[in-house]
Structure 1
Amino acid sequence: MSFLKDISARKEKLRHCQTVVTNSLGESFIEDSKKGSVTKFSGSNRSPGYVVDTKPDLQLAEVIPGLYLGSQDPTGDKELLQANGITHVLSFGVKPLNVPENMLEKMCGVQGGYSFVHPQNGIIFVYIPFLDIPEASLIEVLPKCFPVIDSALSTSGKIFVHCNAGVSRSPSVVLAYILYRSHFRKPWASISYKEKCGKPLSLLDALELLRTQRQCIKPNPGFLDQLRQYECQIIQDKSD
Structure 2
Amino acid sequence: MLHALGITHVVSVGECALVPPSNVDPSAPASTSCTVGPHFIAGKGPGGHGSLWMEEREGRIKVLDIKGVCDDGIDTLEPQLEPICDWIEKARAEGGKVLVHCRVGVSRSATVTIAYVMKHLSLPLVDAYLIVRSRRLSVLIQPNMRLLYNLLGWEVKLARERAGDDPERLRQELARSLNWPYLAKEVHLLNEKYLPA
TM range (shorter): 0.5 to 0.7
What amino acid sits opposite 2:3 in the alignment? Q
Q: Tell me the CA shift for residue 237 of structure 1.
A: 2.3
Q: 8 Å contact 1:88–1:160 — kept in the other structure?
A: yes
How many residues are aligned here?
136
| Structure 2: tracts of 5 or more residues without a match | 29-52, 165-197
Q: Tell me the CA shift for residue 95 of structure 1.
A: 2.7
TM-score (norm 2): 0.60
The percentage of aligned residue pairs carrying the same residue is 32
Specify whether residues 81 and 238 from structure 1 end up closer, same or farther in structure 2 by C-alpha distance, changes over 3 A only: same
Mapping of 1:216-231 within 5 angstroms? 216-231=140-155
Matched, 1:163 2:102: yes
Matched, 1:141 2:65: no
| Structure 1: tracts of 5 or more residues without a match | 1-79, 107-113, 184-200
Q: Tell me the CA shift for residue 140 of structure 1.
A: 0.6
Per chain length, whose mean CA-contact separation is higher, i.e. which structure has more relative contact order (CA < 8 Å, sep 6+)? 2
Mapping of 1:192-211 within 5 angstroms? 201-211=123-133
Q: Secondary structure at the match of 2:100?
A: strand
RMSD, matched Cα? 2.8
Tell which structure's C-alpha radius of gyration is larger.
Answer: 1
Counterpart CA distance in 2 for 1:104 and 1:172 is 32
Q: Secondary structure at the match of 2:140?
A: coil
Structure with greater helix share of residues: 2
Q: Tell me the CA shift for residue 212 of structure 1.
A: 1.1
Specify whether residues 118 and 216 from structure 1 end up closer, same or farther in structure 2 by C-alpha distance, changes over 3 A only: farther
Q: Secondary structure at the match of 1:218?
A: coil
Q: 8 Å contact 1:171–1:217 — kept in the other structure?
A: yes
Mapping of 1:4-19 within 5 angstroms? none
Counterpart CA distance in 1 for 2:73 and 2:27 is 29
Q: Tell me the CA shift for residue 134 of structure 1.
A: 2.3
Structure with greater strand share of residues: 1
Counterpart residue number, 2:11: 90
Of residues 124, 130, 136, the one that matches 2:62 is 124
